[in-house]
Amino acid sequence: MSLDQALLESVNQSQIPMLRFYQWTEPTLSLGYFQKLADRNQHVASSDANCVRRSTGGGSILHHHELTYSIAIPVTSSHSGARLDLYQGMHAIISDALSDWSIKAVPHRDINHRTIDCRPTPLTTPPAATTLAKTNGVTSDQPPPGPQSSTTAGGISDEALLCFQRRTDEDLIVSGYKILGSAQRRAKNAVLQHGSLLLQASPFAPELPGVLNLGSRPLCEKELAQAISTSFSQRWQIDFQASKVSVDETTRAREIAATRFNSTSWLKRR
């Protein structure tokens, strides 16, 4: 997260867009920027997970078996707030990429507008779930999540602690479950958007299935990241070049980590 912030600052200066993918070495609950630390007690399953505070808003996210992306693009200072086109564009790209694995992910707004039944469908144990666990060297000690009988019973609410139990228009939904949520942070001349694509339910949030639980085919996160990059280039006519994080960006990320994401006062600021 400190590197996301450092890259936002870098794009704010360079005006060159950046796309990054990463995963988490430890299961971590990230609080939305304005959430209260004490509110994490509402979610018992994640109580033993590490906790950080993001610089972006929205609900808490349990980062474990997920693919995290971040993108930063230049914007003008005369435009305020969220860039809706970035949400829509990035989520359409990820939906495209998921279709390569026969996963149908649709924006929540489409479900709303069609007024179809958006209750989560009961889950069965997917054979693909073990594929990811093996890839990551992580073994789930809990069974895949059970069925949820209704949106209410599933805890879905605008006030829910967890981001994945909230719904906004651009969230991607598979079989009634949110599998992708994103948030933005503005700088004067750039905007950062990062998002979590749930791959598999975590023992720290077993109520939230990922695409491996909901799909029927094995999926490799590196191939998925490549498919997203390719889809991005095609849709937005941007030719990404692979590049390493610069020494300056790494140094800045360490500074940001020290003052924010690794700082107790940052975590406890609310």
Partner 1 sequence: MSRDQTKLLYAETHEWVDVAEEGGDKIATIGISAFAIEQLNDLVYMDLPEIGKELAVGDEFGEVESVKAVSPLYSPVSGEVVEVHSELPDDLEKINADPYDFGWIMKVKLNDGESLDRLMDHAVYEKQCAEAG
CA separation, residue 73 to residues 14, 179, 249 (Å): 10, 24, 16
Cα separation, 177 vs 161, in Å, equals 16
Taking CB under 8 A as the criterion, the residue among 5, 12, 95, 182 binding partner 1 is 182
Binding to partner 1, residues 85-144 (CB under 8 A):
87
Taking CB under 8 A as the criterion, the residue among 19, 129, 172, 191 binding partner 1 is 191
Q: What are phi and psi of 14, to 5 degrees?
A: -80, -25
Cα separation, 251 vs 263, in Å, equals 17
84 contacts 61 by C-beta, under 8 angstroms: no
Q: Looking at beta carbons only, is 35 or 95 nearer to partner 1?
A: 35
60 contacts 37 by C-beta, under 8 angstroms: no
Least spacing, CB of residue 27 vs partner 1, in Å: 24
197 contacts 211 by C-beta, under 8 angstroms: yes
How many residues bind partner 1, per CB under 8 A? 26
Taking CB under 8 A as the criterion, the residue among 78, 115, 139, 265 binding partner 1 is 78
Least spacing, CB of residue 57 vs partner 1, in Å: 4
Least spacing, CB of residue 56 vs partner 1, in Å: 6
Taking CB under 8 A as the criterion, the residue among 3, 183, 201, 225 binding partner 1 is 183
Least spacing, CB of residue 22 vs partner 1, in Å: 20
x/- site string to partner 1, residues 20 to 59, per CB under 8 A?
------------xxx--------------------xxxx-
29, β-bridge pairs: 51, 62
Least spacing, CB of residue 174 vs partner 1, in Å: 20
Stretch that binds partner 1, among 79-87, 106-114, 118-126, 249-257 (CB under 8 A): 79-87
Amino acid at 118: C
Quickly count: other Cβ atoms within 10 Å of residue 19's Cβ: 18
Cα separation, 64 vs 27, in Å, equals 5
Cα separation, 17 vs 19, in Å, equals 7
Stretch that binds partner 1, among 66-74, 111-119, 178-186, 235-243 (CB under 8 A): 178-186
**H helix intervals, the chain:** 2-14, 84-99, 108-114, 129-136, 211-214, 221-236, 247-256, 264-267
Least spacing, CB of residue 79 vs partner 1, in Å: 6
Least spacing, CB of residue 33 vs partner 1, in Å: 5
Residues forming the site for partner 1 (CB under 8 A)? 32-34, 55-58, 76-83, 87, 168, 170, 182-188, 191
